[in-house]
Amino acid sequence: MCRGKNIPRAKKSLGQNFLRDKNIARRIVSLLDISGPERVLEIGPGPGALTDFILEAGPAFLLLVEKDPYWARERLQKGAGRLKVILADALQMNWAHFTDPWKFIGNLPYNIASPLLWEIFPCAPGLTRAVFTVQKEVGLRITAQPGTAAYGALSVWLQSFSRPKAEFIVPPQVFRPSPKVESMVLSFLPLKKDAEKAGGLLARPDFNPRSLARALHLCFQARRKQLGVILRGLGAEAQIPEELGLDPQTRPERLSPEDFQRLCRYAPFHAPQPEPD
Ligand code: SAM
């Protein structure tokens, strides 16, 4: 199990494909625009391909979240004052605690990227910018436009809470071990409900995230059915209220994120109220 100076073999279960190309690591970190007294969170630092460049950029504080005890301990031993390491599962983090301005970064394990990004963007109020490396196919889904095969719930969800941008493709051979697929680096500019207060950030349209999630779930499990048919299946009127400006003959795969944000105001898509305590 151990090789060389007791470095454990990369764990497939933790999506451990370690980046070995310093130029690419530097390029990924530069996309985060660390420019002053900012707090940065890195998800899954592993041996630290990105970590060293983040520290070089001089953030006020760097928080590392790593699930592998070996790599969390390694980094702790190299730790400096501006750095804190948490041994934790990023999928279990409470993102609502990130209220101050934060920037997030990570070469994400392929197997958790979609559920993790789904959670982070609506829940972390202080997030000002993020840069994540994901499997190329997931990156294409995140940035997909209506009417394309890659367009789906993940595209609408993330485009409703941020402006995702495909930055560049990373080939498999720069990772050890090499994955079977290409990766994509994406940058994200979060959209804010209180954009004015947050200064310079883009405004997020007003919608109920729980209703949007419900609408996406109900619509994309029948992406080729007409909206009216989906509504009748829910026992509702197929005729969508006129003020929502949506044609009942349209199919979900053709609706833009803004269309879904309006659609989820229609009662059949309202999320059930939480149970009283
Ligand atoms: N940042 C390093 C690099 O670029 O070489 C490692 C990237 S590797 C693709 C993913 C890292 O995430 C690994 O260090 C792995 O142990 C860690 N990891 C896997 N699942 C995790 C989880 N649920 N929460 C936090 N870290 C996780």
User: Structurally, what CATH architecture does the domain formed by 209-269 represent?
Assistant: Orthogonal Bundle (1.10)
- CB contact set of 270 (below 8 Å; sequence gap of 6+): 208, 211, 214, 264
Q: Lowest-pLDDT range, 16-30, 146-160, 260-274?
A: 260-274
- The least confident of 72-76, 149-153, 175-179, 200-204 is 200-204
Q: What is the pLDDT of residue 201?
A: 73
CA of 217 to the centre of ligand 1 (A): 28
Domain boundaries, the chain: 12-198, 209-269
Note the pLDDT tens digit of each residue in 90-123: 999 999 999 999 999 999 999 999 999 999 999 9
Sorting pLDDT into bands at 50, 70 and 90, what band is 2? very low
C-beta 14 within 6 A of ligand 1: yes
| Closest ligand 1 atom number to CA of residue 45 | 1
Cα–ligand 1 centroid distance for 107 (angstroms): 7
Ligand 1 center from residue 166 Cα (angstroms): 21
Q: Do domains 12-198 and 209-269 have the same CATH topology?
A: no
Would you say the CB of residue 132 lies under 6 angstroms from ligand 1? no
126: closest CA among 229, 43, 199, 71?
199
Distance 71 CA to ligand 1 centre (A): 9
- Confidence (pLDDT) at 238: 75
The 10s digit of each residue's pLDDT in 156-166 is: 999 999 999 99
Q: DSSP per residue over 92-152, as a string?
A: G--GGG--S-EEEEEE--GGGHHHHHHHHHHH-TTEEEEEEEEEHHHHHHHTPPTTSTT-S
Could you tell me which of 17, 81, 73, 4 has the C-alpha nearest to residue 49? 17
Q: Which residue has the higher pLDDT, 267 or 22?
A: 22
User: Is the C-beta atom of 135 inside 6 A of ligand 1?
Assistant: no
Q: Which atom number of ligand 1 is nearest to the Cα of residue 89?
A: 24
Across the range 21-46, mean pLDDT stands at 95
Q: Which two tokens stand for residue 255?
A: 């609706």
pTM for this model (two decimals): 0.94
Query: What percentage of the chain carries pLDDT values higher than 70?
Result: 93
First to last CA, the chain: 49
Q: Where are the alpha helices (DSSP H) in the chain?
A: 22-30, 51-57, 69-77, 113-123, 136-142, 153-161, 195-198, 209-220, 227-233, 257-263
In angstroms, rounded to a whole number, what is the distance separating the alpha carbons of residues 277 and 191? 31
Q: Which CATH architecture has domain 12-198?
A: 3-Layer(aba) Sandwich (3.40)
Cα of 157 to ligand 1 centre, how many Å?
Answer: 24
Quote the pLDDT of residue 237.
79
| Average pLDDT, integer, range 45-58 | 95
- The mean predicted confidence, pLDDT, of the chain is 91
Preceding amide of 177 cis, omega within 30: yes
What are the pLDDT digits (tens) for 185-218?
Answer: 999 999 987 766 656 678 888 899 999 999 999 9
Residue 275, pLDDT score: 54
Burial 3-31 (b: 16+ CB within 10 A, else e): eeeeeeebeeebbbbebeeeebbeebbeb
Using CA atoms, how far residue 151 sits from 109, 141, 159, in Å, is: 22, 6, 11
